[in-house]
Structure formats: C-alpha cells, structure tokens
C-alpha cells in the first residue's frame, strides 16, 4: 500500500527565507506527483505537477523535484512571503488501474513578517 509522508509537520520561518518541504512515498510505481496548498477552511489549490518521467517543475518562486527511485520529492520556496503561509500537501497517483490520489499529511508553513 502506498504511504506518503511529509516532514516537517509544521515549519515557521522569517519572511524572505528560502525553505524546503519534503515528501516521501513508499511505492515508486507512480503516474505523477502533485503539490497543493490549502488555506484554512478552504479547498486545495494545485501548485505543481511532476510527471513520473520528469525530474523537476518550476513555477515562479516554487520549484518541485522528484526522485522516483528513492521515493522522494521536495518543494523549494524561494524568498518566502507571509502570503505563502498555508498547509502544503503532496499527493501521488499510482500507475494504470488506480483510481485515487494518495495524500501526505501536510506541512503547515507559517512565514513571519
């Protein structure tokens, strides 16, 4: 069974700092990995999607990497801002025949002004 773990569970950083969020998964047979952010009481907003054949994806200040063989992904946030404060979730999809996303438990990020 696929298990997805995110470390740390919570992180506080001062504004302007660069930071890395970690995601690990136990089964490397995945279609893709997606990073989401969730604001309190809200739904999920997709940030980046990395296909299993890719190594990284970038969007603005965000960079996500994927090492499928070791079952790891990182989300790098450059020059953090208070507006980045949210819970960040990673999720993997399995290979054909699967029908759901496997979510990590999330990292709650607080960026202190």
Partner 1 sequence: GAGVSQSPSNKVTEKGKDVELRCDPISGHTALYWYRQSLGQGLEFLIYFQGNSAPDKSGLPSDRFSAERTGGSVSTLTIQRTQQEDSAVYLCASSLRTGPTYGYTFGSGTRLTVV
Summarize as ranges the residues that interact with partner 1 (CB under 8 A).
Answer: 31-32, 34, 36, 41-46, 49, 51-53, 89, 91, 93, 96, 98-101, 103-106
Q: Based on CB atoms, which residue is closest to partner 1, 90 or 111?
A: 90
Strand order in the sheet with 72-77: 4-7, 19-25, 72-77, 62-67, 56-59
CB of 51 to partner 1, least distance (A): 4
How many CB atoms lie under 10 A from the CB of residue 113?
Answer: 8
Shorter beta-carbon distance to partner 1: residue 68 or 77: 68
List beta partners, residue 88: 37, 107
Cβ at position 61, least distance to partner 1 in Å: 19
Q: What are phi and psi of 82, to 5 degrees?
A: -55, -30
């Amino acid at each position: 069974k696929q298990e997805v773990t995110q470390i740390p569970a919570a992180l506080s950083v001062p504004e302007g700092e660069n930071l890395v969020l970690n995601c690990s998964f136990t089964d490397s047979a995945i279609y893709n990995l997606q990073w989401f952010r969730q604001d309190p009481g809200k739904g999920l907003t997709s940030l980046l999607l990395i296909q299993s054949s890719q190594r990284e994806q970038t969007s603005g200040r965000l960079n996500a990497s994927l090492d499928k063989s070791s079952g790891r992904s990182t989300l790098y946030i450059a020059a953090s801002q208070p507006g980045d404060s949210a819970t960040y979730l990673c999720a993997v999809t399995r290979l054909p025949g699967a029908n759901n996303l496997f979510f990590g438990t999330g990292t709650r990020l607080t960026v202190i002004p």
